[in-house]
Structure 1
Amino acid sequence: MNINNLKDKQANKEKLVMLTCYDYSAAKIMNQSEVDMILVGDSAAMVMHGETSTIPMDIERMQHHVSAVVKGAPDKFVIADMPFMTFRQSVEHGIQAVKMLMQAGAHAVKLEAVDGHEDLIERIVQSGVPVMGHVGLTPQFVNQFGGFKVQGKDPVSHDKILADTLKLQQLGCFSVVLECVPATLAAQVTRETNLITIGIGAGCDVDGQVLVTHDMLGFPSAFNPKFVRQYLNTEQLFKQAFDQYAEDVKQGRFPSDKESYL
């Protein structure tokens, strides 16, 4: 899968499918699936490292996650999140972070918001790296928002989100994630830009959808947003397997002769 395939699907009105992934084993399974794009998200900070927000994620850990995912899913289009502050210090610092992610095997990078790093976005695009924007609820700004809240409901924030997406298009981005915004606003962005629009809590009138894999698989989490549909109760399945294993060990049923060297 490459960027031209994605644009062709958009032109043909084929819905695009994106999920997050952070490790080699899950990536191998995802590589066999109908998923088009993999986001190696800074959400790894929360679902893989137990943090309460994405802010603690750093570029070195992100680089390791990207490298593992790319090895496991060579047939997918892999986008890497740029962690908190890696694109807010200077253009040179941001370009170095992009270099690390791309050399780890990513096909594109994703940056949250727009204001203050327009020059960096333009430089990244000019360097031949596809850029995905991210507007609406941008988790790295959670402290400014006062929590994980829907964005774009009032006229001022509505117009700001629309203006930001138009700016992303002008700067050369190929796509944008619209997170936790009214469905009508997401539909408007999809109509009024040529960006590939990927929604998460943004209704169905977008070019594609993304979810955090751990959320849709039902891994335990204190964060249960309205926009998640759970396709599996992994917590229950894992616990059942762990308890069955423990019981088999305690009762002497494991290992059997089949699992032993005789």
Structure 2
Amino acid sequence: MREFAKNLKRVVIKVGSSSITHENGDINLRKIFDLCWQLSDAKNHGYEVVLVSSGAIAAGSKRLNLKDRPNTTALKQAASAVGQVALMNTYNRILGEFSYHGAQILLTKHIETDELMLTNAKNAFKELFNLNVIPIINENDTISTFEIKFGDNDTLSAIVSRIIDADLLVLLSDIDGLYTCDPRENSDAELIKNVDTITEEIKSCAQGTNSKVGTGGMVTKISAANLCMEKGIDVVLANGKDMKIIKDILEGKEIGTYFRSKKND
């Protein structure tokens, strides 16, 4: 059993676009139902849970009948505005079946440097936890500009983990974890089960994503892990193909790649 499972209380779970949408961009209702079931079960277990969810631009693009992912800032913002509504409606409808409510929080990178915004965010999270609500986070794409964008939800999930003093960040992607090289291109690739320090060798293992609907790659996941590890937050990178994996991860089973923070020393 991994160390974090012994005293786990507050968890951030990040799902990428490829984990909750079909390849054509439509929302994958079965996957979101399974995700909400896992989140609700984690709440029933006593964990405080935050979800960082991608998928707004992908979902909006489909609803706007766009053939390809938007390649201009304005079109991305428009697609996000449409898709965010669809995503939250879906999350809330399904969470309601398990007697929980979701709360939408949209953040920009100013949250890192603006003390008032940071304080307000911390207070909001605290009250939502007290009210037994599940915060659902995304970047505020509609008003963000290039200079203030996180650029990917891996980084956003790490920042949220730091804001709320999470014990664990779970990054769910379309790959089983960090490999020595890209397993989709090299059959000799080996899964790295444990990482204690982000070295240059670890960084060299990173490869870009091949997903048509996502924006992040392994580089951003390693960067997110580093942001968390330096604050004593553990990270697990695993495959979100089957959302039941969340329960196994929270129980400390050796799944995916475990980025072990210094707090465990």
**Length-normalised TM-score, structure 1:** 0.33
The higher relative CO (CA closer than 8 Å, separation ≥ 6) is in: 2
